[in-house]
Amino acid sequence: MGRTYFVEEAIGQYLSNLSMKVQPYVTGLLIGQCSVQKDYVIQAVRTPPKEEQKEVINPSKLESIDEEWITAHASQVSRMLPGGLLVLGVFIITCPELSKDSQNALRKLVFAVEKSLTKRRLWKPAEEEVSERAALQICSATKKVVCRTYDVQDPKSSAKPADWKYQSALSASWFALDCTVNVNIHIPLLATSSNHDLEKNIKNGLNRWAKQIEDSVFLISGQVKDDDAELLEGQKKSRGNTQSSSQFSDVKVLTQLSQGSSHRSTATVQICSGSVNLKGAVKCRAYTHNNKPKVKEAIQALKRDIINTLSDRCEILFEDLIINEGPHKKDFEMAYHVLPQRLFVPVAGSSVMLSDYRFGEEAIGEVQERFVEMLDQSVQAEDIQITEEINTVGICPVTDNVDDTQQKQLTKATLLLKLQQNMGVVIAAAVAVFASIFSFNYFSD
């Protein structure tokens, strides 16, 4: 028995409208949420056309599909998804002449998209997590829909049949978890890094911070709940309600200040070329379906949103710096940069809100254009919710010319620290030597 995909009814009309356009094929992404028993698709978005692709595409083959462009689109869309939502798969709408080759093209796209998204993540999927992704094929003439899945953890995976079922008001009353996380991260920039690779150093620092978030304690409505408990336990589930209304729960995140006594702590001295400080308060949100969700699923979704949102902001900042200062600029001067603010936008007929990031000087009109381009969705300016204050990145370099005195002090400090760390070995060796001399003299006498 294959997987079952419950699909928002409006998606059927959206795909039907796309199939009516005079094109040999249209590709796009499926967005939704996975669960152990079933999957939920709440939105489908077509791949935006490239400027140079406005010419007529060769209708005889699917070789003209731009895999790199589609994976880049998937990466941009994944930034706009709150916790709990992900790119569930890929769809393609073709004319009858291309139907035979569609499945091979879909298979390549499914694996390429997942590989691209996995590279960006600072978290690892759980062992029990669903690893199947959807490949949806639609014939523009007959409107026939064929849904299959591939296990993206297995490169040799073969297609499995899946059910594609439309349902009205699918995400009209999903549950939302909200939290604000205060961030104050100090990341040293190692002098040994080639060309002072700022982005790589920050990613390493964020990896350490991500582990702290994974180990944090989450209080839902002021309580620590059991992982296997139902998130909505004790709450009445609304039935037959087609109006979008989300239930919100405020979550507090408690991070560990220090490790327990069972953990061995070691200190190291490292020569640094500077440091980066990330400071601010980030708004995080995760959604979960209303079909008996577990606490563990909801907390996991929120953890990933916390990690993703800070990582995405840093990526966006570096992309902006590269555009404005050039890709070959490696040595950054002391500066304070403002991270992009997060904003939320409602989805029609759903309680779920999608997100985006905006720099302070960026006009609201640019955000609206981005939603049309990336998600094929028109957004009213008054519907855009900005819920954050300013978050900053401080880059504090150290001068490259370290004088001899400083170098000697650093070397001396390093040697002293190593001596202290290995003092036990030194003392043990000294005792052994002394005992050998004493026994030799004793037996000689």
How far is CA 83 from its chain centroid?
9
Question: Cα(293)–Cα(83) distance, rounded to whole angstroms?
Answer: 14
Give the residue with greater pLDDT, 406 vs 298: 298
Q: pLDDT band at 211, cuts 50/70/90?
A: very high
Per-residue pLDDT tens digits for 6-45: 999 999 999 999 998 757 889 999 999 998 878 999 999 9
Question: Cα(418)–Cα(422) distance, rounded to whole angstroms?
Answer: 6
Q: What is the pLDDT of residue 92?
A: 95
* Residue with tokens 């699909």, as numbered in its chain: 7
Are 309 and 243 a contacting pair, CB within 8 Å?
Answer: no
- 3-class DSSP state for residue 180? strand
- 3-class DSSP state for residue 350? coil
Q: pLDDT band at 355, cuts 50/70/90?
A: very high
Q: What is the pLDDT of residue 31?
A: 98
Q: Is residue 69 predicted with pLDDT exceeding 60?
A: yes
Question: Cα(119)–Cα(107) distance, rounded to whole angstroms?
Answer: 19
Estimate the share of the chain in helix, then strand, then coil, as percent rounded to the nearest 5. 35, 30, 35
Are 44 and 145 a contacting pair, CB within 8 Å?
Answer: no
Q: What is the pLDDT of residue 186?
A: 87
Q: What is the pLDDT of residue 436?
A: 56
Per the DSSP assignment, residues forming a β-bridge with 25 are 94
Give the angle subtended at the CA of 322 by the CAs of 317 and 328, to the nearest 5°: 140
Q: pLDDT band at 401, cuts 50/70/90?
A: very low
Mean pLDDT for 114-140 is: 90
Whole-number Cα distances in Å, 423 to 347, 415, 419: 63, 12, 6
Mean pLDDT for 58-72 is: 81
Q: What is the pLDDT of residue 243?
A: 55
Are 180 and 284 a contacting pair, CB within 8 Å?
Answer: yes
Question: Cα(334)–Cα(275) distance, rounded to whole angstroms?
Answer: 10
Q: What is the pLDDT of residue 276?
A: 84
Per the DSSP assignment, residues forming a β-bridge with 186 are 277
**Furthest-apart CA atoms within the chain: distance in Å:** 107
Q: What is the mean pLDDT of the chain?
A: 81
Q: What is the pLDDT of residue 263?
A: 60
Are 391 and 313 a contacting pair, CB within 8 Å?
Answer: yes
Question: Cα(265)–Cα(422) distance, rounded to whole angstroms?
Answer: 14
Mean pLDDT for 166-185 is: 92
- Using a 10 angstrom Cβ sphere, with 0-12 exposed, 13-18 middle and 19 or more buried, the burial of residue 391 is buried
Mean pLDDT for 153-182 is: 93
Mean pLDDT for 260-283 is: 75
Q: pLDDT band at 425, cuts 50/70/90?
A: very low
Give the angle subtended at the CA of 314 by the CAs of 309 and 319, to the nearest 5°: 125
Q: Is residue 188 predicted with pLDDT exceeding 60?
A: yes
Name 223's Cβ contacts closer than 8 Å, sequence gap at least 6.
none
Mean pLDDT for 223-242 is: 72
Would you put residue 195 in left (φ > 0), alpha (ψ -120 to 50) or beta?
left
Question: Cα(338)–Cα(82) distance, rounded to whole angstroms?
Answer: 21
Give the angle subtended at the CA of 374 by the CAs of 369 and 375, to the nearest 5°: 100
Are 339 and 317 a contacting pair, CB within 8 Å?
Answer: yes
